[in-house]
Amino acid sequence: MRFPLFKALCQSGSVGFEVTPEQRKEFSEKGYIYIPGALAKSVVLPVRDHVLKELKRLNIWSTGRMLSQKLKGVPVFQQTGKLGQLISYRNLNERIISQELYSDMCLLADAPLHGQDGQLLISLPHPIAWTLEKLNWHRDISKSQLKGIPGGQAFVLLDNVAAKGGATLALAGSHRLESQHQAKQGVSKLISEGVNISVKVGDVELSILEMAGHSGDVYLMDMRVLHTPSINSTKNVRIMATARYFSG
């Protein structure tokens, strides 16, 4: 789905505000920027409440407990995908992507962008320990799109998400590696040496970004960055949303 009005606004430079030189540098080096409090509670909480009502209506989750066993034991990535198919929100992009955020993505990508329909990212608590092992590290683009910045992806927190609470993980710096195999070598090093450090693959510094925070916080990411759903080891449902915007 394209958003021609936003595209025209971005080209004219009439909306939003320019990201700072420091943010541009961070985006170039790490592949993301973090914008706390980017969206008001009045914007995100109605979407969160809709998700919680749908989970109850579908007899999946309510008031802190699992109502059905049908998703129990389903791998993290598959569970997130399944819940995203079951629960949607009409015109999600229009709700969660403000003109300011869209303009920021255009500025970071140095190009006008067009968007796909947004997607809810939901994960239930998992009865296993939090780990980096056996996750589904991936890019949402093809190998042919690795030259230049193919677009930006927004990750929006619709509710508070605690550390180890199922937030999307990103391998900061991996957009500078053409080979996905090289990037996954970095993940292996981080698993063995510790998640809170950085490692080098060639001359590229890699580290793990956990997109935790408060409702209304937003992470803007270069689409070449490897990322994955993570294990939710808390007692709360993880409720986020994502929207992808492509150049060209």
**Looking at residue 90, which CATH number applies to its domain?**
2.60.120.620
Show the tokens assigned to 118. 């947004």
Residue 158 token pair: 């619709």
Chain centre distance of CA 32: 10
Whole-model pTM: value is: 0.89
> pLDDT by residue (tens digit) across 224-242?
999 999 999 999 999 999 9
- Cβ neighbours of residue 112 closer than 8 Å, sequence gap 6 or more: 7, 10, 11, 106, 247
Q: Is pLDDT of 12 > 60?
A: no
Overall number of domains in the chain: 1
- CB-CB contact of 31 with 222 (8 Å): yes
pLDDT tens digits, residue range 147-184? 667 889 999 999 999 999 999 999 999 999 877 788 88
Helix 4-12 / helix 99-109 crossing angle, nearest 10 deg? 60
Instruction: Calculate what percentage of the chain has a pLDDT beyond 70.
Output: 89
H-type helices in 35-152, by residue range? 41-57, 76-86, 92-96, 99-109
- Report residue 41: phi and psi, to 5°: -60, -35
| Domain of residue 145, residue span | 4-247
- The rounded mean pLDDT for the chain is 87
- Would you state the pLDDT for residue 3? 41
Is the confidence at residue 8, as pLDDT, over 90? no
The predicted pLDDT at position 17 comes to 52
Q: 93 near 3, Cβ under 8 Å?
A: yes
pLDDT of 178-209, one tens digit each?
Answer: 777 888 888 888 888 766 788 888 889 999 99
Residues 34, 154 contacting (CB under 8 angstroms): no
- Burial of residue 230 (CB within 10 Å: 0-12, 13-18, 19+) is buried
Task: Give the whole-angstrom CA distance, residue 155 versus residue 34.
Answer: 10
| CA 44 distance to own-chain centroid | 15
